[in-house]
Amino acid sequence: MSDAAIIDAHVHVGQPGLFFAPETEPRELVATMDRLGIAYAVGTDHKSLYEPGGERLARLRDVFEQSEGRLHYLGVFDPRRSAECTSALEHARDWPGFVGLKIHPSLHRVPADDTAYEQAWRYAAEHDLPILTHSWSVSDYNAVQYLSTPERFEGWVRRFPGVRLVLGHAGGRGAGRSDAVRMANEYANVFLDFAGDIFCYRLIETLVESVPVDKILFGSDHPWSDPRAHLSQVLLAEIGVSAKTKILGRNAMRVYRIGTGRC
């Protein structure tokens, strides 16, 4: 695997459910990746967020194999179904393409600092797996976002310093972004991806100025956002080629252990 390979480190496949999105099937995502020069992707399917378990993980393994090793996948941990999710994760831990856990406190309506997540953190620590989480700022139009504000993860980050935590969406906007940046600077195991509808002026330049470039991962949140929007943010950013290479793929290789022989 080339060190310059581009990895979209935050994708979904399948229909979101809240709206219709085109080209959401795995083969369609791969075709989009081919057009854009994206070598690999990391994510899960939307259905797993609502119905996690062994059946969905087996389906994602099939997707990985059908994509010829390009669509790596995460196992969803829903704290309301802890035993079922843990059993599925244990079964899948040595499967090809399985590279980490996904949690979504806002969707599952369980705050990120709730003790119900302890099993996920312990599992990740025991098996050297990262956790990708939804993170956002307090929102006056989407009240459940308060369940996923970055500082809620801080206790876990301290307790499990060996677990690599990726704050998806880099904490969102405003205070959420500020806390995410602070945590990425304070803790060696905290990383940021900028997937989603975050289109701030000079976003990439600002992130590179605010945190070590080794902490920033390219992600699109496909199909919620078009990968071209996020890819162009990096390619057109006024930063060095080395920084772009790290953000577009090398950092994801390290965080998710892609290309190390594990997958």
Chain segment 86-119, per-residue pLDDT in tens = 999 999 999 999 999 999 999 999 999 999 999 9
Using CA atoms, how far apart are residues 222 and 127, in angstroms rounded to an integer?
28
- The confidence score (pLDDT) of residue 194 equals 97
Radius of gyration of the chain (CA): 17
Domain boundaries, the chain: 7-256
What secondary structure letter does DSSP report for 144? G
pLDDT at residue 18 is higher than 90: no
pTM strictly above 0.85: yes
CA 191 to chain centre: 10
pLDDT at residue 263 is higher than 60: no
Using CA atoms, how far apart are residues 50 and 121, in angstroms rounded to an integer?
20
The predicted-structure confidence for 65-94, as pLDDT tens digits, reads as follows: 999 999 999 999 999 999 999 999 999 999
- The confidence score (pLDDT) of residue 199 equals 86
- Residues contacting 62, CB < 8 A, separation 6+: none
Cross-strand bridge partners of residue 13:
45
Cross-strand bridge partners of residue 74:
100
Percent of the chain with pLDDT over 70: 98
Query: Whole-number mean pLDDT of the chain?
Result: 96
Kindly report the number of other CB atoms within 10 A of residue 255's CB atom.
24
- Residues contacting 18, CB < 8 A, separation 6+: none
Kindly report the number of other CB atoms within 10 A of residue 95's CB atom.
17
The alpha carbon dihedral of 131, 163, 220, 198 has a sign of: positive
Name the CATH code of domain 7-256 (choices 3.20.20.140, 3.30.70.260, 1.10.3720.10, 3.40.640.10). 3.20.20.140
Strands of the sheet containing 216-217, edge to edge, are 7-13, 40-45, 71-76, 98-103, 131-134, 165-168, 190-193, 216-217
Using CA atoms, how far apart are residues 154 and 168, in angstroms rounded to an integer?
15
